[in-house]
Every structure is written in C-alpha cells, then in structure tokens.
Amino acid sequence: MSLSPSRNLLVMNVQMSVSLLTTIILCRLLFPGIVQAEFAVAVLPVAILHMFRFIGMTVVMPGQLDDAISHKAKVQIAIGDLAVAVTAVLLTFAIVEGFSDGAVRALAWLFVITCLTDMAVIQRFFIREQFWDKKMGVVWLFQVLLSVPMVLGEFFVLYRLVVV
C-alpha cells in the first residue's frame, strides 16, 4: 500500500526536521568553537563532508531512481554532485597543504557558488518531478540524512566568507 504524495512529503519533512536537530546537536558537541575558529579550521569539516558528494553520481546507474524521473534530471544531479565534490577536494587540499588565506578563501567561494548552483538545480528537478513520490532507494537516505548537514555547512561557509 503506497502513501499518497502529500503523506510522503509530510514524512520527508519530519525526517528532515529530525536530521536538522541531530545536525545541530552534533555540531555543538563536536565543533563547539567553530564560529570563532580560524577560517580554514572552521570550513575544513564542511569541505571533508562534501568531498563524498561524488556518490550522488550513482543516480545515473540503472535502477537507482524511479524510471519516471527524467534522464535529464539524473544527469544534472550527477554532474552537480561531481562538481561539488571536486571543489570540496580542491578546498580541502588547499587547507591541508597550508595554502595562503587568500587562496583558501578563493577556493571557498568557488565551492560555495558551486554548491548553491547545484542546490538550485536539484531543487528545481526535485519539485517539478515530485521526487518524494518516486522510488528512490538508497538515494532517499542521502536526501534525508545528509542534505541538511550539507546545506547548513554550505551556508556556514558562506557566512564565514561574508561576515567573519
């Protein structure tokens, strides 16, 4: 018995709310001084998390997403996730290798712009094709569990670039 699209959307929103609370608790526990930390130190955990976004490329593999989801959407999601992963790898490498603050900040801008562009593309397809009412397999786990900490991390890096 399948849930209606509105019930699926409700369940997803509850799951994402729990993910939000969990993310806030874990960040306060694991990174209590992150807002006051040096820029490179503060953004490193976000970059490390995003290095694994290449996993999103699995959406183009047969059987990973509902056939009702367009191939165009699958390809755009895969390309966006790969682009974010590459920029995260570059940012992490720059931080770990001790690049100058200016170089790290420039790569952080590239990372944030890539993330926000990818987010806009994904949300366009997510809403238009009503992903919450499709068979998504393990992709659902990434959407619900990891999207919240990733998006919060992206906005945190943007905040650190603009404000601090």
Q: What is the pLDDT of residues 84-126, one digit of tens each?
A: 999 999 999 999 999 999 999 999 999 999 999 998 988 888 8
* Residue 60 tokens, joined: 């183009």
* Measured distance CA(109)–CA(91) in Å, rounded: 10
% of residues, the chain, pLDDT over 70:
94
Query: Residue 9 belongs to what H/E stretch?
Result: helix 5-30
Instruction: Give Cβ neighbours of residue 156 (< 8 Å, ≥ 6 apart).
Output: 34, 42, 43, 46
Q: What is the residue-averaged pLDDT of the chain?
A: 87
Q: Structure pTM?
A: 0.83
* Measured distance CA(33)–CA(61) in Å, rounded: 41
* Measured distance CA(101)–CA(39) in Å, rounded: 8
* Measured distance CA(147)–CA(52) in Å, rounded: 12
pLDDT over 80 at 83, yes or no? yes
Q: What is the pLDDT of residues 129-157, one digit of tens each?
A: 887 778 777 667 777 777 888 888 999 99
